[in-house]
Chains A and B, each alone.
Chain A
Amino acid sequence: MATKHSRAASRLMISPAVLLLLGWMIVPLSMTIYFSFLNYNLLMPGAHNFIGFDNYKYFLTDPAFTTALINTLVLVGGVLLITTVGGTLLALLLDQPIWGQGIVRVLVIAPFFVMPTVSALVWKNMFMNPVNGLFGWIATSLGLPPFDFLAHAPLFSVIMIVAWQWLPFSTLILLTALQSLDSEQMEAAEMDGAGAISRFVYITVPHLARATTVVILIQTIFLLSVFAEILVTTNGGPGTASTNLTYLVYAQSLLQFDVGGGSAGGIIAVILANIVAIFLMRMIGKNLDA
């Protein structure tokens, strides 16, 4: 891409793809913005008149909104904490030479291939159910009353389910990063008198910083929009105890048939996601510079 000519040619070649992607994004976004200013409820046919920012006002003043916002942040933060810390520890374990390494690695990655609805249902019915679930059985075997996870700790349960799904992803990325650590660096640190913990703190953790950043950024994008796990387990409840923004938008538009309000919620969610992204890039984006 050195010459002026080749630069111009490259711009020309890449423009159809850019235009397609732009259209792909712009059309739904502008339609959502358009709907968010209309009084548009599927239960009330007739004219969809323009009502300005009323939809936004109703969505933001909805008592469920603050809960949903906090739940979203707790859900994202909790899952990120479990997956990065747990992923690092698991990656350290898997990096050790063990018998049957290949099979163990495949087993560890397996949860990522289970679709969210299926894994959430498995957790709901086979583990967390107080009557039929494994945890309930363990509790009653010990003479304790079974704990109804989804009723009494709904958000925590959702966090556990989602973390279980994403742990393999972070483990996998951190494991590849660990394997790219120069063994001579570790040996040099060993010669320099660093014990196992010092080597981990001073050599391994800084080496993993970039991979951890990638894990956090990618997971945040997906965790902000967790939906299926909530839908099949708690339905956002009890009350709004496990409702996140995505679920609130769903409830607004498809349970109350309020297209306008749902669209306004969607736009608010987009804005909030961007605020989160800006904060994240400020905090950890510098790790991505070479």
Chain B
Amino acid sequence: MGQITLSKVTKKFGEVEVIPPLDLEINDGEFAVFVGPSGCGKSTLLRLIAGLEDVTSGTIAIDGTDATGLVPAKRRLAMVFQSYALYPHMSVRKNIAFPLKMAKFDQAEIDRRVEAAAKVLNLGDYLDRRPGQLSGGQRQRVAIGRAIVREPAAFLFDEPLSNLDAALRVGMRLEISELHNRLATTMIYVTHDQVEAMTMADKIVVLQAGRIEQVGAPLELYERPRNLFVAGFIGSPKMNFITGAEAARLGAHTIGIRPEHISISPSEGAWKGTVGVSEHLGSDTFFHVMGTGLAESMTVRTSGEVSLRHGDTIFLTPQEDKIHRFDADGMRIA
């Protein structure tokens, strides 16, 4: 079990309100991702749930019981930190066994659980090494191992992949998703990387300045962003925003169109421009189109084999049904 309910939670550091009143429901077994730009309060929110920070007002309930005043250890949550926070003077085995030792499990049970965790995480060969002798990915696994042995109600991850290199990050992303499928335990995952959010989450919580901008499944956020911020934050490359006459024609203050929903042609189309920088990824090509008079630069995504050069004239045609419309306050027009 691991249902977490936040109601009217606020957090102030001195006079600065980092989290205005916030309500959020995370269901049992769900993989929830808090995503937002740095300084948006996502880590603070996680630490409030963990109990490492006290809420200024409001309540946090875990499995229906009020946990607002409980110390971290009593909340039955386990956390994986950005720096892994392994204990450098203990072997991997002792690191993983530490929470069990603190909970006064008997030694046979500790050994059994540590062995099981090591097997799940492929750490069998490293159990007697110190954290300092491990690579970044292995340390990450030890930190996860230390979290899973306690069989907590929920796991909290605080940007766990941001210290890993790109290739390892993709691998660990898969492993964590795999782990979630196997354990079926609630996980809350904080990241600033929208790719991680899109690929791993059951539920994405987009945060900005402590406010929840939108909560929903990854594709829901991609297809129906509630406002300009979410529209710009979710999706890579970013959505193109157009204001002015072209937007007014569709009865909106701003319209948005994703790079993958624009088709290109060298000869005819709705908007005319010139090719600026083009980024060839092999599978895809991103064109940055200048001089359309709509926006400073429009990004277009096409398949890999388009041979347009810098300075060539290009015509763009948006898919009308994929255009997102926003009013003057930046909110979506249905």
Contacts and interface: CB of A to CB of B under 8 A. Distances in A.
21 contacts: A184-B83, A185-B87, A187-B52, A187-B81, A188-B79, A188-B81, A188-B87, A189-B87, A190-B52, A191-B50, A191-B52, A191-B99, A192-B73, A192-B99, A192-B150, A193-B99, A193-B103, A202-B98, A206-B87, A206-B89, A207-B89
Contact of B102 (A187, A192, A207, A209): A192
Contacts of B52: 187, 190-191
Interface in A177-221: 182, 184-185, 187-195, 198, 202-203, 206-207, 209
Which of A185, A195, A206 has most chain B Cβ within 10 Å? Answer: A185
Interface in B148-164: 150
Interface residues of B, number: 23
A203 B88 CA distance: 9
Interface of B: 50, 52, 71-73, 77-79, 81-83, 85-87, 89-90, 98-99, 102-103, 132, 146, 150
Contacts of A207: 89
A190 B102 contact: no
Majority secondary structure of chain A interface residues (helix, strand, loop or mixed): helix
A207 B50 CA distance: 25
Q: Which are the 8 A-B pairs with shortest beta-carbon distances?
A: A193-B73, A188-B85, A192-B99, A184-B85, A206-B89, A193-B102, A184-B81, A191-B79
Given A187-B81, A191-B79, A192-B102, 13 more contacts: A184-B83, A187-B79, A188-B79, A188-B85, A189-B98, A190-B52, A190-B72, A191-B72, A191-B77, A191-B78, A194-B102, A206-B90, A290-B132
Contacts of A192: 73, 98-99, 102, 146, 150
A136 B71 CA distance: 49
B85 A187 contact: yes
For chain A, give the interface size range: 10 to 19
A192 B97 CA distance: 10
B76 to A, nearest CB: 10
Nearest to A203: B87
Contacts of A202: 87, 98
A191 B98 CA distance: 11
Contacts of A188: 79, 81, 85-87, 146
Nearest to A287: B89
B73 A194 contact: yes
A185 B85 contact: yes
Contacts of A209: 89
B82 A184 contact: yes
Contacts of A184: 81-83, 85
Nearest to B74: A193
Contacts of B82: 184
B100 to A, nearest CB: 9
A185 B146 CA distance: 13
